Amino acid sequence: MMTSTMQTPAERLSLSRERLRHALAGTSDTTTEAGATPRAHPAWWHSLRSLPGAGVLIEAAEQWWARHPMRVTTMVALNAAQAVVQPLAKKHPLGLVTAAFVVGGLLGWRRPRNWILKPALLAGLLPQLLIASLKAHAQTQRPPTTARD
């Protein structure tokens, strides 16, 4: 942390506790060390959403994921994995890269995509995605209704 004045140990401790409180609560601190506010999505995400048709599909996928029953489980597993993998990556980065290489090789060798992407699955999923995207697009294009006397 680069500041013009030195912080006392008590100030550093309180700042550390505040950051830890935010991390455990799952909220992000509103300011970074430089004083800038973090963005929710990177710039490429906004440019991707601005492509014709992509915004509708992304919105439909986001709405679907918000209602999905596995969303909470996935978020908890993601947080737990991050809590385990992040310290491991700091201590043994080469070991983590080697493990990722081995797992990637095994997945490429076993080809699980052939188990998941069956034509019947895609035939059943594609109409649902199209209907959801058309509904989302129709809702965004519909002008708000006003009550008339």
Q: Over the stretch 98-138, which tens digit does the pLDDT of each residue have?
A: 999 999 888 888 776 666 666 666 667 777 777 877 777 77
pTM over 0.85: no
Distance between CA 17 and CA 106 in Å, rounded? 42
Structure tokens given for 106: 């095994």
Number of residues written out for the chain: 149
For 137, residues 6+ apart whose C-beta sits below 8 A from its C-beta are 56
Return the ∠ at Cα 69 (arms to 80 and 85), rounded to 5°.
15
The DSSP letter of residue 40 is S
Distance between CA 3 and CA 34 in Å, rounded? 10
Distance between CA 61 and CA 49 in Å, rounded? 12
**What is the pLDDT confidence band of residue 80, given thresholds at 50, 70 and 90?**
confident
Phi-psi region of 113 (alpha: psi -120 to 50; beta: other; left: phi over 0): alpha
Mean pLDDT of 53-76: 85
Mean pLDDT of 57-65: 85
User: Which of 14-18, 38-42, 90-94 is least confident?
Assistant: 38-42
